[in-house]
Structure 1
Amino acid sequence: MKKILLLFIAITSIANAQKKDFTLEEIWNGSFRTERMNELNSMNGDFYTLLNFNRETRSTSVDKYSYETLEKVGTIVDSKNLNNLKYFETYAFNNNETKLILGVDIEPIYRRSTLGIFYVYDIASKSLQLIDKDKIQEPTFSPDSKKIAYAKNNNIYIKNLETNTTTQITFDGKKNNIINGICDWVYEEEFAFVRAFKWSNDSKNIAYLRFDESEVPTFSMDIYGKTLYPTQKVFKYPKAGEKNSIVTLNLYNVSNQKSTKIDLGNYEYIPRFKWTKDANILSATTLNRHQNNLNLYIVNANDFTTKIILNETDPAYVDVTDNLTFLKDNSFIWTSEKDGFNHIYYYSKNGKLINQVTKGNWEVTDFYGVDENLKTVFYQSTENGSINRTVYSIKLNGKNKTLLSANTGTNDASFSKNKHYFINTFSSASTPPIYTLYSENGKKLKEVLNNNALANKLKDYQLSPKEFFTLKTPNGNFNAWMIKPTNFNPKNKYPLFMTQYSGPGSQSVSNSWNSYNDYWYELLAEKGYVIVCVDGRGTGFKGRDFKKVTYKELGKYEVQDQIEAAKELGKKPFIDASEIGIWGWSYGGFMSANCILKGNDVFKMAIAVAPVTSWRFYDSIYTERYMQTPQENPSGYDDNSPLNFANQLKGKLLLVHGSGDDNVHFQNSMRFSNALIEANKPFDEAIYPDRTHGIYRGKNTRLHLYNKMTKFIEQNLKTNKQLTIKL
């Protein structure tokens, strides 16, 4: 019997030895990149367009495809045929798809905002018209296609395409003072939009936000670059408890060229505004500073009167989404977690509840829209488990729910404009993305694209599957996954390396395909580590109460949960409880720093990348949503700040930050470094000059970082490389 077992072990070892180990060079040079569809633009009718690049002619084109056949049916514009434009990077249609805006020389400003040179291309005449000789932001067709509104130097302009004349409609824009039509830094980052102006459906009015950031404190960063003297990046950044921009909603009448400020009562933020189906009615959402009292207004563009048609409050905070959808009669769809889980609601145009469309102890995670002819709503949810995503349709009356995606894992739908078709993107922890065309009733029509080549390539590598499980701890039962070495022996002891993010409403344990980090975890597993990820309290998609338990105490319950999770995992016979490490980035870095301080008897080492070290340093909108202000809640800020517990460090800590991080400022790591120095605690540090929050720009940046972290783990978490098999 022993001989047979030894022979089996020998054969298995030989098979494993023949497989390749992952390398950091391969991971970060894109060797395991998935094939993805170019972002498609749904057209009127059953067609869509793609932006394609021709390597032979070095030109770009907008090509038209049929949803029914997925075949190319024509080319709308190709830069090789444009005399003054050798290429373009972006495109956008007008309403009737007779013209496009083409963008070139696009340069980033912050996370979402860009500047560029833009042209209008007329499909019929094949003519090209420059919008402005300078770089501008967010050019947008009027619905009648006769004009384009855009922002430049913090002001809004209108280009008349028929007369080729430009009208400036705001005049007080000034850097770090007044912004018209474009969001300030904190709105862009936390409310996730840039263009703060919108045409009415009849092209007669433009609604826009005006930001007065004159009293917002200024933040500056040194940019080291390659010049003799560093330069400075200076911008307005409201930290928690500091003054925000004063934001107002305005209506500009194109005919009389007059702007009118709209009275929306008492509020701190205007996180959303959009025109309804009625060209004279604008909607606007306001929030108080605590973000726990939301009003939905309708604004009459003729007489500027306003009315609240929906009010939503929450003991903690109300989430802002993009799901507000108006139907032809101005009734509307709204999503809310007021019954404890995020669901779809249907209201009349006056704000009277018609029906709660979806119900249950699960979450609607995406809203895809409505087919009004069929009175059908399309959405994504966690009905198949909180780590999975499934696509459904349901009638507005809440009946005839239909499953549209059959596979278990992560399904995401991209619907045609008329909702007749959708392309479903499916992946799981074991299946790389597959793109499939479906009809609106869920009938599978055709596979569009798969990643079989990648799946076959990975068969040559030491790849250990993610094992999903529920981890039971004294604080609750949590979603988790584990990766073991491919030659795992349950009779051996392995060091444990934990990964997490843990931020409010986030999810790290999901049944979806690999990120770059997942390949890194596979590499670490083959070096002899067991990798585990646990989503504790405060993370998302398990209901309101699970998510919002961390309110006013960011870093308290989440840290407790990671510590308890490590203790429970340490009880497993194959885990060496004396060799446990943890890492994280951003919020996850905040967590890992806290864990090695408050859990210094559990964690032997930690890596904190771009961490928040005091929520007093972070922006107002994000921080106060979960913490209120430092003036109102000082203990919530200070009792969970790594700065105040530096003297508790026992294990090994690697602190990493980019000096050009405009989001989580380098200040966080500098203050933490100083606290550790004053406590006479040794630690390791890596500073990446001028890199932003993602620490990725520049040659070999990510490769250098992951080499640094890998070596740090190897030096500070011991592995048992001599596997002993007890027979």
Structure 2
Amino acid sequence: MNIRKICKQLFVLIGIALNLVTYGQQKPPALTLEDIYTNHAYSQKYYGPVRWMKDNKGYSTLESNKEAGGKDIVRYDAQSGQRTVLVSASQLTASGQSKPLNIDNYEWSADDSKLLIFTNTKKVWRYNTRGDYWVLNLKTGSLQQLGKSMESSTMMFAKFSPDGTRVAYVSKLNIYVENLASSQVQQITHDGGDNIVNGTFDWVYEEELDCRDGFRWSPDGKNIAYWQSDTKGIGTFYLIDNIDSIYSRPIPLPYPKVGTPLSAVKIGVVAADGGMTRWFDIPGDSHEHYLARMDFIPNSNEVMIQQLNRPQNTNKIWIGNIEAMTLKNILTETDKAFLDVHDDTRWLDHEKYFTWTSERDGWSHLYKISRDGKEIKLITKGDFDVVQINCIDAKNGYVYFIASPRNYTQRYLFRSRLDGTGKVELVTPAAMAGQSSYQMSGDAKWAIHTFQNVTTPQMISLVGLPEHKEIRKLEDNHLLKQKYDQLGLNPKSFFKVDIGDVALDAWMIKPVGFNPAKKYPLLFYVYGEPAGATVQDAWEGGALWDQYMAQQGYIVISIDNRGTKTPRGKEWRNAIYGQIGILASEDQSKAALKIFGLFPFIDSSRVGIWGWSGGGQMTLNCMFRYPGIYKTGLAVSFVSDQKLYDATYQERYMGLLGDNAKGYKDGSPINFAKYLQGKLMVIHGTADDNVHYQSFEMLVNELIKYNKLFYMMSYPMRSHSIHEGENTTLHLRRTMEKFWKDNL
């Protein structure tokens, strides 16, 4: 073999080797906005919805039936995993219809003999709460539509009577009761319409007090107690539809803003077969109070009512007798700042005691209180917040709850004895670092456990409690995990920023191929308000937008300032009271300066900040108040003047306007717009029913007044989330990306 041949073969072998090396070092697939927002290539799978059966031995869920073209309701035995079809899709095919009913929600009667199906739903502001209802009788197989005389998709909150013979529901602001055997419909309220709202709520009750379903069956099925709201006197805000016709169309929205009248709300009782409504005479001006909660006490003719005053720093608990229509105040909670309503009431010991969540000792804890309010005993003890009550196991004497005493970004299941003795027990394995949530059976023996953290999409399992033994995996999202890992991204890294008064939690994402010797522009993502938190050890969709921006060459950081919704105690959460936008932007600015000193790879001359909703307001406050720090900002769907936002939220955290006029002024970024120095872009949807487009236009007007140049983008007839319409989400993110690349 001559030398030329040998060299040729060597070159071939070297080429093959180089190709193999190159193949082994292939660049990871690129993260694209199209894959995130159009192709939804990184969507995670869920399991359920799950309903634990009343025997606590199994649960029901929905599964596709390809042959029938709908969904079956299937029962799984918790111990054995045995699968039983409870209701097949074919059973939900109405006479004359070719396809089964689409199940948006379902409810069993008390004896499990009937099934209530919610279908053909439509959105009311945030949620699909209007639609049609059908009842399937499992004994006879008959499927009947309720409210046949009602207009399609106008029925709300249907529920069985305690004995399962009737169903009550709301339609067009009145309450009806339908007899299932005869299909006879009895209208039990008649004044609903215009400004009178029966059995449901106005916008602000739904948004800020989480009130939607506005009526309750009495335990004996003879009466219905319900809320009635009178919106007369509430200011009407008009959303303007300019895109569906050659003429604009105003959309009226009764919306109480700071300092303006609230709906007058009262609670009445009416016989389930009709008659006159009798009203509770609850002390206090109905325009200046909220009736935030009302429920029947089991096995009684009494209701428990929670009445908040307008500043929301006093909650009076009333017991109302529906026969005598008398009221007794058994408990009054007060606070120097604000109180949050809760749904953790459970009656114990033959209704002699009830559970109650309070921050009276500086932490959010569960208490046991006697029916007359005279005995109050702490159940969960320690310097930690109870984040959520999962199950009260009265038979075995335990309460199961979510908390995180040592790491505020994570969540674990604990349990305490209901008698307050003994130590708090950790139930979630300590090795499962991240966030765990549970849907527990009523006897606390079983739970659907969902685990996640910043690098792990939801892993859903059936576990046995209290040992937390995994019985079977229900969904592990392993394909999504593989696809995500193939991107080769740098995960969020958590750290703390000591600003002197307090250490704040934060996270950072670095670009792939990060070089500590380089200088990188910094992009802060901010929220900063009491309604939420950004620094959480949770999947959160893989933080793909933040990861995408990091891959464009930015360091991305988020910080939770004081006042955000984290389990750090009452003092932490109350710190923001009366100074929304003031303390938070100060905390954010101090943390930014500290971060510049901690990380030499950050270019402090190229610092941007952005946020949505409350985070948009925070962006503006930081840009206007601290122009030496933040050179570029992008504010989405923001409040520019706190007086423009709804009374319930803003007054809860700021106090009444007459008591804190200076706080409202100093916390509103519009009053500091003249100090803008950097590059700013503002974005808003014109049909935002939550934070009105008015906030956008008023700020724009102020910036023009002071000759401040800026960028702006309006999305016609898009709501607060700016997602409606073809291609909207991708267009929004492309717009944001271009702004950052052009200006940071």
Question: Amino acid of the residue matched to residue 74 of structure 1?
Answer: V
Question: Amino acid of the residue matched to residue 395 of structure 1?
Answer: R
1:139 to 2:139 alignment: no
Question: Amino acid of the residue matched to residue 650 of structure 2?
Answer: T
- Deviation of 1:255 after TM superposition, in Å, equals 5.6
How far apart are the structure 1 equivalents of 2:173 and 2:232? 13
Structure 1 residues 81 and 562: alpha-carbon distance in aligned structure 2, compared to 1, 3 A threshold:
closer
- Deviation of 1:213 after TM superposition, in Å, equals 0.7
Question: Amino acid of the residue matched to residue 63 of structure 1?
Answer: V
Partner of 1:558: 584
Partner of 2:497: 471
- Deviation of 1:56 after TM superposition, in Å, equals 4.8
- Secondary structure at the counterpart of residue 674 of structure 1: helix
Question: Amino acid of the residue matched to residue 576 of structure 1?
Answer: D
Partner of 1:58: 69
Question: Which one is further off, 375-384 or 70-79?
Answer: 70-79
Partner of 2:400: 378
Instruction: Return the match for 1:198 from 207, 211, 216.
Output: 216
- Secondary structure at the counterpart of residue 734 of structure 2: helix
Root-mean-square deviation over aligned CA pairs: 1.8
Question: Amino acid of the residue matched to residue 478 of structure 2?
Answer: N
Q: Is the 8 A contact 1:475 1:561 kept in 2?
A: no
Q: Is the 8 A contact 1:309 1:351 kept in 2?
A: yes
Q: Is the 8 A contact 1:119 1:128 kept in 2?
A: yes
Instruction: Return the match for 2:94 from 83, 107, 110.
Output: 83
Q: Is the 8 A contact 1:60 1:80 kept in 2?
A: no
Structure 1 residues 126 and 328: alpha-carbon distance in aligned structure 2, compared to 1, 3 A threshold:
farther
Partner of 1:355: 377
- Deviation of 1:459 after TM superposition, in Å, equals 2.4
How far apart are the structure 2 equivalents of 1:301 and 1:476? 50
Partner of 1:487: 513
Question: Which one is further off, 247-256 or 637-646?
Answer: 247-256
Structure 1 gaps of 5+ residues are: 1-10, 718-727
- Secondary structure at the counterpart of residue 189 of structure 1: helix
How far apart are the structure 2 equivalents of 1:554 and 1:593? 13
Structure 1 residues 16 and 364: alpha-carbon distance in aligned structure 2, compared to 1, 3 A threshold:
farther
- Where do residues 591-670 of structure 1 align in structure 2 (5 Å cutoff)? 591-670=618-697
Partner of 1:722: none
Partner of 1:725: none
Partner of 1:251: 269
How far apart are the structure 1 equivalents of 2:119 and 2:90? 11
- Deviation of 1:49 after TM superposition, in Å, equals 1.4
How far apart are the structure 1 equivalents of 2:309 and 2:363? 23
Bigger Cα Rg = 2
How far apart are the structure 1 equivalents of 2:540 and 2:273? 54
1:109 to 2:124 alignment: yes
How far apart are the structure 2 equivalents of 1:53 and 1:148? 28
Question: Over residues 350-407 of structure 1, what are the superposed CA-to-partner deviations in whole Å (9 max), with x where a residue is unaligned?
Answer: 2233521112221100001211110111111112421110001221122253322111
How far apart are the structure 2 equivalents of 1:441 and 1:457? 34
Question: Over residues 107-160 of structure 1, what are the superposed CA-to-partner deviations in whole Å (9 max), with x where a residue is unaligned?
Answer: 102113521121111111111222113221111111111111111111111111
Q: State the TM-score, normalized to the length of structure 1.
A: 0.94
Structure 2 gaps of 5+ residues are: 1-19
- Deviation of 1:214 after TM superposition, in Å, equals 1.0
- Deviation of 1:224 after TM superposition, in Å, equals 2.6
Question: Over residues 463-505 of structure 1, what are the superposed CA-to-partner deviations in whole Å (9 max), with x where a residue is unaligned?
Answer: 1111111111244210001111121121111111001211115
Structure 1 residues 92 and 105: alpha-carbon distance in aligned structure 2, compared to 1, 3 A threshold:
same
Q: Is the 8 A contact 1:392 1:402 kept in 2?
A: yes
Partner of 1:170: 189
- Deviation of 1:278 after TM superposition, in Å, equals 2.7
Partner of 1:397: 419
Question: Over residues 171-198 of structure 1, what are the superposed CA-to-partner deviations in whole Å (9 max), with x where a residue is unaligned?
Answer: 11113x0001101111011111211100
Q: Is the 8 A contact 1:536 1:558 kept in 2?
A: yes
Q: Is the 8 A contact 1:660 1:690 kept in 2?
A: yes
How far apart are the structure 1 equivalents of 2:23 and 2:653? 53
Q: Is the 8 A contact 2:634 2:682 kept in 1?
A: yes
How far apart are the structure 1 equivalents of 2:373 and 2:254? 37
1:182 to 2:207 alignment: no
How far apart are the structure 1 equivalents of 2:67 and 2:595? 55
Q: Is the 8 A contact 1:112 1:193 kept in 2?
A: no
Instruction: Return the match for 1:283 from 289, 304, 310.
Output: 304
- Deviation of 1:15 after TM superposition, in Å, equals 7.5
Partner of 1:23: 32
- Deviation of 1:54 after TM superposition, in Å, equals 3.1
- Deviation of 1:327 after TM superposition, in Å, equals 2.2
How far apart are the structure 1 equivalents of 2:167 and 2:531? 38
Partner of 2:5: none
Question: Over residues 420-447 of structure 1, what are the superposed CA-to-partner deviations in whole Å (9 max), with x where a residue is unaligned?
Answer: 2111111111222111222231331222
Q: Is the 8 A contact 2:177 2:273 kept in 1?
A: no
Partner of 1:685: 712
Question: Amino acid of the residue matched to residue 103 of structure 1?
Answer: F
How far apart are the structure 2 equivalents of 1:668 and 1:51? 43
1:411 to 2:429 alignment: no
- Deviation of 1:253 after TM superposition, in Å, equals 2.4
Partner of 1:346: 368
- Where do residues 32-51 of structure 1 align in structure 2 (5 Å cutoff)? 32-45=42-55, 46-51=57-62
1:214 to 2:232 alignment: yes
Q: Is the 8 A contact 1:604 1:716 kept in 2?
A: no
Instruction: Return the match for 1:152 from 171, 184, 191.
Output: 171
Question: Amino acid of the residue matched to residue 254 of structure 1?
Answer: A
- Where do residues 426-441 of structure 1 align in structure 2 (5 Å cutoff)? 426-441=451-466
Question: Over residues 79-100 of structure 1, what are the superposed CA-to-partner deviations in whole Å (9 max), with x where a residue is unaligned?
Answer: 4652335222322211111111
Question: Which one is further off, 56-65 or 477-486?
Answer: 56-65
- Where do residues 218-237 of structure 1 align in structure 2 (5 Å cutoff)? 218-237=236-255
Question: Amino acid of the residue matched to residue 34 of structure 1?
Answer: Q
Question: Amino acid of the residue matched to residue 334 of structure 2?
Answer: T
- Secondary structure at the counterpart of residue 209 of structure 1: strand
- Secondary structure at the counterpart of residue 119 of structure 1: strand
Question: Amino acid of the residue matched to residue 578 of structure 2?
Answer: K
How far apart are the structure 1 equivalents of 2:94 and 2:457? 41
Q: Matched residue pairs, number?
A: 705
Question: Amino acid of the residue matched to residue 101 of structure 1?
Answer: L
Question: Amino acid of the residue matched to residue 323 of structure 2?
Answer: N
Partner of 1:724: none
Q: Is the 8 A contact 2:188 2:274 kept in 1?
A: no
Question: Over residues 260-311 of structure 1, what are the superposed CA-to-partner deviations in whole Å (9 max), with x where a residue is unaligned?
Answer: 1012222601001111123212111001111101011111122121111211
How far apart are the structure 1 equivalents of 2:25 and 2:147? 61
How far apart are the structure 2 equivalents of 1:55 and 1:693? 36
- Secondary structure at the counterpart of residue 279 of structure 1: coil
- Where do residues 421-570 of structure 1 align in structure 2 (5 Å cutoff)? 421-444=446-469, 445-504=471-530, 506-515=532-541, 518-540=543-565, 541-570=567-596
Q: Is the 8 A contact 2:393 2:442 kept in 1?
A: no
How far apart are the structure 1 equivalents of 2:80 and 2:718? 45
Partner of 2:17: none
Partner of 2:330: 309
Partner of 1:293: 314
1:699 to 2:718 alignment: no
Structure 1 residues 198 and 77: alpha-carbon distance in aligned structure 2, compared to 1, 3 A threshold:
farther
How far apart are the structure 2 equivalents of 1:71 and 1:26? 38
- Secondary structure at the counterpart of residue 412 of structure 1: strand
Q: Is the 8 A contact 2:564 2:573 kept in 1?
A: yes
Q: State the TM-score, normalized to the length of structure 2.
A: 0.92
